[in-house]
Amino acid sequence: MSKIISGFSKLTKEEKIDWLAKTYFDNQPEIIQTLKQYWNVDASLQQLHDDFIENTITNFYMPYGIAPNFVINGRDYVIPMVVEESSVVAAASLVAKYWSTRGGFKTEVISTTKIGQVHFMYAGNKKELETYFNQQKTELYAATASITKNMEKRGGGILDIQLVDKTDKLANYYQLHVTFETKDSMGANFINSCLEAMAKQFQKDDIEIVMSILSNYVPKCLVRAEVSCKVEELGGENPEKFAQKFEQAVKIAEIEPYRAVTHNKGIMNGIDAVVLATGNDFRAIEAGAHAYASKDGQYKSLTHCEVKDGIFRFWIEIPLALGTVGGLTALHPMAKLSLDMMGCPSARTLMQIMATAGLAQNFAALRALTTKGIQHGHMKMHLQNILNQHNATAEEKEAISKYFENRTVSHSAVVEKINSLRKPKVNWIDFLNKEELSEKLTKLNADSKPLFGKMNGQQMIEHLGFLLRISNGRIDTGIFVSDEKSARRKPFLDTDGEIQAGFKAPMLSEEPYPAKYSSIEESINDLFTQIDTFETYFKENPNNSITHPFFGELDYEYWKKFHVKHFTHHFKQFGLV
């Protein structure tokens, strides 16, 4: 059956979902439920989100976190971040606090010029084209007057229009290269509207307009952020060594593209998170940043470091074309909240905040890499994701987080710990609680059949009594257990492990010993007597140790641990626990 559909966009949201479930999910009801559970309960708010793009069927949530303690140019900020990677917000927050006591972040906007181009083909005489351009230049400004009027009132507009010859790269290819100032608007629609008006004005028979479009490469829309302090103020055991390794790590990223890509990706972890939180275009920011990293002909680090005259300096220069008015920033309630959180910044101020977030993220990554390694902190943060994947309870999360405080986190280690916590709890038998023993033993008959092994009910009771006699010093088995064997076997008594079905001590015969007493009642009475004797013996001889035929020398505490395991093992043998 063909899965091609016509008129899909005209279907209602419900109809789109029904078609998707029927065509690609065999009409599974849980698919529809999953999609609908992410709808906002506020119908008008959901409609707002539906209208952002085409063919909307649901929302896709991303975590929205905040990183406090940023001090930028002497002002305190909390920075909103939308990101799925678990260590980003924590790392930014940690670095923000670190530098808040070392002078904070210093930032400045170097320039805010943006670029748009009209691309066209012209096969005629270049001098004639230049003459035509000079004649038309004033008309090009005039053609955009109605578009630029409001922008000019805010201090923006078209800064310059240039004719650029690119025929050495592509035959007959020229540009109108236009620079803009868009103030607090990102300006994409404004720029594109101006370019299209210019193209219409400039076009003539021998000029073929190919396209008119803004550029996301904005090397003149540039911001700088920096931190610095005396080397000894960096802290740690050896700040001089740390500063040296940190500088080396940055310089490696300045010359090695393979490292630079990952290095810059870490920077964008911080920047993209703030771009998303403010409703800006993270794809445009990414493209422009990576193009800028290649501006010298080789892909390089966007950050730089210098250790000179006892001063550590670390900075970033990055192009960021942002907006704080218009577009999604004006529509999305969370984007508006983000801007309010940061004090309703201008586009220039937002550039500085985002550059700071990127620098902080890079500092965190490089500090981890050059000290204890990136995985230590990353996997600690990733721990919560693993726990959530396995539906860990609050109690399990607390226990496992504590367990991994001083251990290396890995997915397999976490899963192993979760499974160990979820193992059925052993109902250990308190052999010193005779009331509990009596209650359980009422279910046992002399000839009761075991779930495993060969003993009957009475033989099992007398077997427990026999081991108690050994621990009481009443029976000397004459078996020697070497220190080596004891050291290997005895630690088992300290664990939660059970004596496994089928285990048989070497001293025991293949067949069960015949019952010593005439009834199971007598056997139980003797068992209780041996328990009392065990307590009395060690009360009178608290420092004594008695040899166990398998585990070796055991004192009172270890004999108790053995009897708990031994009683539990045999009570399970007859289904009493």
- The three state secondary structure string of 379-392 is HHHHHHHHHHHCCC
The mean pLDDT value for 280-304 works out to: 97
The 3-state DSSP class for residue 313 equals: strand
Residues 177, 118: Cα–Cα separation, whole Å: 7
**What is the DSSP-derived secondary structure letter of residue 118?**
E
Write down how long the chain is.
577
Q: Which residues contact 255 (CB under 8 A, 6 or more apart)?
A: 300
Note the pLDDT of residue 419. Answer: 87
Active site residues: 85, 265, 281, 378
Q: Which helix or strand (DSSP H or E) is residue 116 part of? A: strand 114-122
Least confident of 66-75, 143-152, 170-179, 489-498: 489-498
Note the pLDDT of residue 389. Answer: 87
Band (501; pLDDT cuts 50, 70, 90) = confident
Residues 118, 120: Cα–Cα separation, whole Å: 6
pLDDT per position as a tens digit, 506-550 = 667 778 889 999 999 999 999 999 999 999 999 999 999 999 999
First to last CA, the chain: 58
* Both tokens assigned to 170: 């592509």
- Residue 460, CA distances (Å) to 316, 485, 493, 499 in order: 77, 27, 21, 15
Note the pLDDT of residue 504. Answer: 73
Pairing of strands 303-308, 207-214: unpaired
Radius of gyration of the chain (CA): 38
pLDDT per position as a tens digit, 31-52 = 999 999 999 999 999 999 999 9
The mean pLDDT value for 57-86 works out to: 96
The mean pLDDT value for 140-164 works out to: 97
Against a cut of 0.95, is the pTM above it?
A: no
- For 308, phi then psi, to 5°, come to -150, 135
Listed in order, strand segments (DSSP E) in 283-423 are: 303-308, 311-319
Note the pLDDT of residue 423. Answer: 78
β-bridge partners, 319: 222
pLDDT per position as a tens digit, 73-91 = 999 999 999 999 888 999 9
Note the pLDDT of residue 363. Answer: 97
Note the pLDDT of residue 327. Answer: 81
